[in-house]
Copies of this chain bind each other. A is one copy, B any other.
């Protein structure tokens, strides 16, 4: 087994998110990032949501960048007073925040003459040493500094920024998965599922119960970088389930 399969490349996401912590908005970026990273052979291994407070952003980013190969942040890079991410990242790295010449040029070209205001110029402030991340939607760029990637919080822009980073990460084998819907109580299958999991320690088997319209059931998700092992374990689970007189249903494959 190649080394890179043994120790997957891991990433963390720091969500700068007063609006998530207040309950006003449900985060959608973590799932987007998780799926995209997996295509690059990188596992999302931790998410932290912190308030829009400089010290909290610095602490989360500094801890994560020392522990994970890649760190992504979302949110707080717009033109308003509450957009403090670039300042916080500069402080986290102890480098000055500068007007990035290319960012200034892009933004100046985007706005009509005379409308490149002080507030808009804020969006060209990048920590020294940072590389711009293209924003095809609304011009104002994200940036990369060392292993930290600073993205917009608006899901549409965040996605577009990720696309511009495609193939630039140093990943391993992507994780594959398959899942079954099993219309029986999770606790009735738990013993058998545990035995299958014990015998298949090279794959991850997750069990997620659901309650829908008064019916109970579970999704069993099998994850591995090895497609063949997934199929074998799925077959084992199907054969156990069928002994209960229950028919498991293959869920649509995600990738």
A interface vs B, CB < 8 Å?
15, 18-28, 30-35, 38, 43-52, 56, 78-83, 115, 117-120, 122-123, 137-138, 153-154, 156-157, 175, 177, 179, 186-191, 193-194, 197-198, 204-211, 216, 221, 223, 254
Nearest B residue to A218 via CB reads: B80
Chain B residues with Cβ below 8 Å from A22 are 34, 38, 44, 175, 177, 221, 223
Interface of chain A: mostly helix, strand, loop or mixed:
mixed
Chain B residues with Cβ below 8 Å from A186 are 78-80
Chain B residues with Cβ below 8 Å from A47 are 15, 20-21, 47-49
Chain B residues with Cβ below 8 Å from A117 are 187-188, 190-191
Q: Residue A221 contacts which of B19, B30, B137, B187 (CB distance < 8 angstroms)?
A: B19
- Candidate in A198, A205, A211 with the most chain B CB atoms within 10 angstroms: A211
